[in-house]
Amino acid sequence: MTASTLASPVQLNPYRPWPARITSIIDLTPQEKLFELRLIDDATRDAFDFEAGQFVELSLFGVGEAPISISSAPSKQGFIELCIRDSGDVTGAMHAKQCGDIVGLRGPFGRGFPFQEMKGHDVLLVAGGLGIAPLKSLINHIHDDRHEFGKVTILYGARTPSEILFRRQFEMWQHREDFDLMLTVDRPDETWEGEVGLVTKLFDKIDLDPDNTYGALCGPPVMYKYVIAEMRKKDLDVDKIYVSFERRMKCGIGKCGHCGVGHQYVCVDGPVFNYWEAMNLQEAI
Amino acid sequence: MFFKIIAKDEVPDLVRGIATEYEVIGPQAKGTAFVFAPLKDPADLRLDYDMTILPAKRYILPERETLMRFSVEDNEVVEAELDAPRRALFGLHPCDVNSLLLMDNVFLDGGDPDPYYKARRENTLIIGVSCMPAPTCFCDAWGTDETHRGFDIFLTDIGDSYYASISSVRGADLVDRFAKGRDITAEDTAAFQERSAAFKAAFEHEIDTSQLPVLLDAKYDSPIWQEFGEMCLACGACSTVCPTCYCFDVHDELDADQKHGERVRTWDSCQFKDFAGVAHGNFRDSRASRVRYRYYHKQWGYLSRYEKVLCVGCGRCTRACKADINPPRVVRALQTGVVDR
């Protein structure tokens, strides 16, 4: 028997996480925190290049790994932000971490939103609940390159006012002229003065140029059918709508099989799919 | 590729010679069945076996392996070592040689080759052997009844000797050193052709595999899946015995001190209930959806990427499944819309 040691550069072993330091933790809601992470190795950090919509595997040794979409914009170099809901073993353990702690990252993985293709067009972004996490990356990327885009409309629905993610920023943005942002909640509280109802209700209030608009959407599985129906009512082309899917991406590199959807793997063929592809993909929507 | 004739009574010497440099794994009798196991004595090698219970995939993708050892406190890898022993898999049928080529597509593919698989694959010598179809075999349906690459040496039985196809430098070197052999004649090649024809003629069943990807989509909501789902025990035996099922799980195991541990990869099965589970639910909660996914992936998902179905017709799942769910039966049901009884 002979044993060989794996070559040390981590990129030769796609299963080996890169160490990253937590540099900031913000409580967004009672369930969600926003973590800012910086890869420790300079060369790895400089080489870390991603697209809005891509995800990483967050790796906590002793607990495991979980796929998390990147919330910060690719235009922000040197760090990434992950918006994490405490909903499982890894995410629960992450919520117990402190600023300065070291965690592991692998990635970025998958296909993101077609940012370059969207340039020069109007954009309609629709998020439900935690689905805002990957869209936030796209929103910020558009913000940093705002002059390249036409009208930008953002519709975001949450269950209650206290569950609105990035609330402070979005409430500020509601007054901006270059972003048409609308928030709605299913269940208002006494402080809520905004829209009430599902995110689909907001479609009555928007005006789109269907020939010139790209749609992007992310939210809980149940939302897709209804939001896409609204987009189609507004005459958006099926191949100009992009959807992001959540599945159980374990390896991130198209091998472990866990994120299969229809005949594709979400980790390499997605998580962002063109709706034309997705509507022909079994199990997808 | 070049060819040699190796007399059957030369095989023990060839095995002994190879064993000086490789750990030799070969088919051996175990009770009334056959298994691949380390060979202690060349006399135990049963090149006349019909089929082994488990395929040889465990020697390339083990049922359990440590990917890395880690320290919990600083979330650091303390050791990333892999076992890649020099091994010879002696006596793989064409289906099994082909199964490794199908796995190669996944693990050696493009941007992210799997270093563990790759190291083992490179250190593994493959010696194939011809066979005659068992009643459960249907490799002819997929064209995996022949193999022209993926081996170092392939032995085709032509009576008292083997017609040896040699396709690698290391294979040629081993034959040169450990088997006398002789050059082929026109008569030998005629005997090889005769044997190949007899093999092809011996398949008892025909399976209509036409248009499977279309049928899988067009008949996605067919009641056959509900029927198969009700039969399925969700035991995962089909994946375990399958030479092409590669899905795996990764989990962390802690040492007793809770300070260190290892990240472990184990075989997994899409037939297990939580395979497609996420934090808020399960995308394939019903057995019907899981049985369908298994076939959907093998005959369409994998094909959409690599142009081949992910099945080599070895018939191991046919033998293993206690509910009598197997590819020939499922494919028939897909074609006819009825599950035969």
The answer on B172 and B37 residing in a single domain is: yes
- Residues B225 and B145 reside in one and the same domain: no
> Each residue of B183-229: pLDDT tens digit?
999 999 999 999 999 999 999 888 999 999 999 999 999 999 999 99
Q: Residue A174: its pLDDT value, please?
A: 81
User: Is B85 contained in some domain?
Assistant: yes
pLDDT computed for residue B325 by the predictor: 97
Mean pLDDT by 10 residues, chain A (285 residues): 40 88 96 97 92 97 97 92 95 97 96 97 96 96 95 96 91 85 95 94 94 96 94 95 94 95 93 94 85
Q: Which residues of B touch A248 (CB under 8 A)?
A: 275-278, 283
Contact B340, B224 (CB under 8 A): no
Q: Which of A83, A98, A109, A263 to mutate to test the interface with B (most CBs of B within 10 A)?
A: A263
Indicate if B197 and B216 belong to the same structural domain.
no
Pure H helices in chain A: 42-47, 89-95, 115-118, 132-144, 167-173, 223-233, 266-269, 275-279
Is B265 within a domain? Answer: no
User: Would you say residue B240 lies in a domain?
Assistant: yes
Lookup: tokens for B149: 């690459």
Give the pLDDT score at A187. 96
Q: What does the radius of gyration of chain A's CA atoms come to, in whole angstroms?
A: 19
- B83 close to A (CB below 8 A): yes
Q: Which residues contact A107 (CB under 8 A, 6 or more apart)?
A: A50, A54, A55, A56, A57, A252
The one-letter amino acid code at A71 reads S
In chain B, residues with a C-beta closer than 8 Å to the C-beta of A61 are 70-72, 75-77, 252, 261, 263
Nearest 5°: the CA angle B145, B147, B148 is 150
Do B197 and B228 belong together in one domain? Answer: no
3-state secondary structure of A110: coil
Query: Would you say residue B257 lies in a domain?
Result: no
CB contact under 8 A, A16 and B258: no
Look at A254 and B283 and tell me if their CB atoms are within 8 Å.
no
In the prediction, which pLDDT does A76 show?
A: 81
- Residue A8 C-alpha, separation from nearest chain B C-alpha, in angstroms: 9
Question: Is pLDDT at B278 greater than 90 in this prediction?
Answer: no
pLDDT for B8? 97
Residue B237 has pLDDT above 60, yes or no: yes
Residues B223 and B186 in one domain: no
For residue B314, pLDDT beyond 90: yes
Please report residues of A whose CB lies closer than 8 A to that of B118.
none
Q: Are B5 and B182 in contact (CB under 8 A)?
A: yes
- Average pLDDT over chain B, rounded to an integer: 95
Q: Are residues B178 and B233 both part of a single domain?
A: no
In a domain, B262, yes or no: no
ipTM of the complex model: 0.91
pLDDT in tens, B141-186: 999 999 999 999 999 999 999 999 999 999 999 999 999 899 999 9
pLDDT of residue A255: 95
- pLDDT value of residue B120: 95
- B196 and B62 both lie in a single domain: yes
Whether residue B238 is found in the same domain as residue B136? no
| C-alpha to C-alpha distance for B228 and A154, rounded to whole angstroms | 45
Residue A97 contacts B, CB cutoff 8 Å: no
Assess if residue B341 is contained within a domain: no
Residue B181 lies in a domain: yes
At B73-112, the pLDDT tens digits run 889 999 877 889 999 999 999 999 999 999 999 999 767 8
Domain of residue B288 covers 212-248+270-336
- pLDDT the model gives residue A8: 38
Give CA torsion, residues A218, A221, A226, A230, to 10 deg.
Answer: 20
Tallying the residues shown for chain A, one arrives at 285
**Residue B159 touches partner A, C-beta closer than 8 Å:** no
B111 in any annotated domain: yes
pLDDT for B116 equals 95
- B197 and B308 housed in the same domain: no
Tell which of B71, B74, B215, B263 to mutate to test the A interface (max A CBs under 10 Å). B263
Query: Given B201, B220, B237, which residue is the final one in a domain?
Result: B201
Which residues of B are less than 8 Å from A32 in CB distance? none
Q: What angle do CA B8, B14, B18 make, to 5 degrees?
A: 150
* pLDDT value, residue A101: 97
* Whether residue B313 is found in the same domain as residue B169: no
Residues of A in contact with B293 (CB under 8 A): 260, 283
Residue B13 has pLDDT above 70, yes or no: yes
**B91 and B151 together in one domain:** yes
Looking at the structure, do residues B191 and B51 belong to the same domain, yes or no?
A: yes
The domains of chain A, with CATH numbers, are 10-109 (2.40.30.10), 115-279 (3.40.50.80)
Q: Count up the domains in chain B and report the number.
A: 2
Show residues of chain A in contact with B106, CB under 8 Å. Answer: 254-255
